[in-house]
């Protein structure tokens, strides 16, 4: 299935209970493990897709954490009027606003994005989704925080101190060294 068909055929977020991972290396930036795209998780390789798909049943470990991160984005989309378009629009606006902090953190548009902060802070909690069946809304709290506070949160959640010192763009895995978009 190509990206356009994924978009056109995507059910509303609330009608999706699981997101299959598929390898589509042309559509994901290097340095990121996965990309939630209208109910699918896009990865670089088949092996990475398999790791995401295993994450469903394992319930622990890196695969679960990676999968849980993406599933939190699905649940966030449920909380944005149950609309993928609304979710991505908000994501883009948050990204633009957070880019103002690029002088402090090169990847600020991504790492200080309220949707990402919620996913990173809670992706290791096995019951996080079950506690929010109507949708994850933690991003609203982060959205109301100044970027300086979000930077502190991101540093703690992602252990960014080393990367900040190196002025690196944090191409390390959130879930053990890489990142997911969104
Ligand atoms: Zn993410």
β-bridge pairing 21-23 and 179-181: unpaired
Question: Taking a C-beta distance cutoff of 8 angstroms, is the pair 89, 115 a contact?
Answer: no
The per-residue pLDDT string of the chain (182 residues; one tens digit each, 9 = 90 and over) reads 688 999 999 999 999 999 999 999 988 888 888 899 999 999 999 999 988 888 665 556 778 888 999 999 999 999 999 999 999 999 999 999 999 999 988 899 999 999 999 999 999 999 999 999 999 999 999 999 999 999 999 988 877 554 444 443 333 333 333 455 67
What span, in angstroms and rounded, lies between the C-alpha atoms of 105 and 99? 9
What span, in angstroms and rounded, lies between the C-alpha atoms of 176 and 20? 21
Distance 181 CA to ligand 1 centre (A): 5
Distance 165 CA to ligand 1 centre (A): 23
Distance 34 CA to ligand 1 centre (A): 8
Domain boundaries of the chain, sorted by first residue: 3-82+90-176
What pTM was estimated for this model as a whole?
0.85
Distance 126 CA to ligand 1 centre (A): 17
């Amino acid at each position: 299935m190509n990206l356009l068909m994924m978009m056109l055929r995507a059910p509303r977020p609330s009608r999706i209970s699981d997101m299959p991972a598929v390898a589509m290396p042309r559509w994901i930036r290097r340095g990121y493990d996965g990309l939630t795209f209208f109910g699918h998780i896009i990865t670089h390789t088949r092996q990475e897709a398999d790791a995401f798909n295993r994450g469903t049943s394992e319930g622990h470990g890196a695969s679960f954490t990676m999968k849980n991160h993406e599933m939190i984005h699905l649940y966030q989309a449920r909380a944005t009027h149950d609309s993928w378009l609304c979710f991505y629009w908000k994501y883009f606006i948050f990204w633009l606003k957070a880019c103002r902090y690029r002088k402090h953190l090169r990847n600020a548009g991504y790492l200080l994005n309220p949707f990402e902060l919620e996913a990173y802070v809670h992706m290791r909690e096995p019951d996080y989704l079950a506690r929010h069946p109507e949708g994850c809304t933690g991003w609203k709290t982060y959205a109301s925080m100044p970027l300086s506070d979000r930077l502190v949160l991101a540093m703690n959640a992602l252990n960014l101190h080393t990367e900040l010192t190196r002025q690196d763009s944090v191409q390390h895995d959130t879930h053990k060294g890489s990142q997911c978009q969104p």
